[in-house]
Amino acid sequence: MSIGAIARGIGRHARHAPKIAGVLQQRTLKSISRAVGVGLHSGQRVELTLRPAPADTGIVFRRVDLPEPAEIRMTAESVTDTRLASTVSTGGAKVQTVEHLMSACAGLGIDNLYIDITADEVPILDGSASSFVFLLQSAGIALQKAPRRFIRVTRKVEVREGEGANEKWASLEPYHGYKLSFEIDFDHRVVNSTGQRVEFDLGTGSYSRDIARARTFGFTKEVEYMRSKGLALGGGLDNAIVMDDTKVLNEGGLRYDDEFVKHKILDAMGDLYIIGKPLLAAYTAFRSGHALNNKLLRELLSHSDAYEVVTFEDEKRAPRGFGEVARAW
């Protein structure tokens, strides 16, 4: 199924603050950026408009298609469903599949953003975060007259589920920076032939190059079952890696040798950024997913001695990777 994505900076530049000497500042967009696509599960056409937002706004989805437009601010508590994707809601309004766009915001260091959306699901575009990275960078990134606020993890926090072959877990530990380690365990010939563990450090790697292009993936049997249940109606070979029992069906193959586990890193970055501020922590996970990632955030926030909110009045003291605006591709 083809997806039409329209991405352009409109050029109506937001007024943005000059650089504050030495301070690590918040970031928003310089101008508006738009895209059109379909929802992965609904198959519904959706328009997405990314707009600059004032300092300390955070990232806010706005359901502009509703009779009374609703705003959904990103917090750990805003996540109300984690089956197949991360869904956020307030009152009767919801937005599904927010993790890829949130991942792009985390990777590029966007603090404040209004996301106007005309349906209840973020468009899947190419199944990765690369289209969202392009949209954000097309709009340009503006510094704002307010310090970036980070959640710094001060002691280890961990959540676990299942036992034996069904065990899965995720943890956050103190780290002066942001790095993620993920290990997957799929009993599938194709997945087993690729890298199943990866570590990404925002201070030494490039999100746009190393993570953003990793696509969501699924198996033909799963896709057929989900479609029979009215799900994955917008999914296809141009926005997901699809496998049968023995091979990848996509004509171009994989974008990375370890694309499967890199997509799990992509998802985790998006799920964790829903907390509303960038983390200073080391995230480690085994077979985690949207539900466990959100459970980890809630566990962290339930222990006031496990984290603190910090700023950097001297950006030279900030961890590597946070002090500069992310480069283009």
pLDDT, tens only, 177-224:
999 999 998 877 788 778 799 999 999 999 999 999 999 988 887 777
The superfamily CATH assigns to domain 151-317 is lpxc deacetylase, domain 2 (3.30.1700.10)
Task: Look at domain 8-149 and name its CATH class.
Answer: alpha beta
- Average per-residue pLDDT for the chain: 90
For 134-191, write each residue's pLDDT tens digit. Answer: 999 999 999 999 999 999 999 999 999 999 989 999 999 999 999 999 999 887 778 8
pLDDT at 287: 95
Question: What is the H or E stretch that residue 226 is in?
Answer: helix 220-228
Reading the block at residue 240, the tokens are: 């997901």
Distance CA 122, CA 36 (A): 10
Q: CA–CA separation, 111 vs 278, rounded Å?
A: 8
Question: For residue 210, what is the enclosing H or E element?
Answer: helix 207-210
Kindly report the number of other CB atoms within 10 A of residue 143's CB atom: 20
Mapped onto helix, strand or coil, the DSSP state of residue 153 is strand
101: left (phi over 0), alpha (psi -120 to 50) or beta: alpha
The lowest-confidence range among 17-21, 49-53, 196-200, 308-312 is: 17-21
Please state, in angstroms and as integers, the Cα–Cα distance from residue 79 to each residue in 40, 42, 73, 224, 308, following that order: 18, 19, 10, 27, 22
Q: Is the pTM of this model over 0.85?
A: yes
Residue among 114, 137, 132 at smallest CA distance from 35: 132
What per-residue confidence (pLDDT) applies to 35? 97
Q: 124: closest CA among 33, 206, 29, 232?
A: 232
Task: End-to-end CA distance of the chain: give it in Å, rounded.
Answer: 27
d(CA 255, CA 268): 19
| The domains spanning 8-149 and 151-317 adopt the same CATH topology | no
The active-site residue, picked from 16, 41, 263, 290, is 290
pLDDT band at 13 (very low <50, low <70, confident <90, very high): very low
**Which pLDDT belongs to residue 197?**
94
Phi and psi at 159, nearest 5°, equal -130, 145
Report DSSP state, residue 274: T
pLDDT digits (tens, 9 = 90+) for 244-287: 888 999 999 999 999 999 999 999 999 999 999 999 999 999 99
What crossing angle do the helices spanning 259-273 and 99-108 adopt, rounded to 10°? Answer: 80
φ/ψ (deg, to 5) at 70: -120, 140
Q: Is 303 a catalytic residue?
A: no
Q: Where are the domains of the chain?
A: 8-149, 151-317
CA-to-CA distance for 111 and 78, rounded, in angstroms? 17
The pLDDT of residue 305 is 98
Q: Please indicate whether residue 192 or residue 73 has the higher confidence score (pLDDT).
A: 73
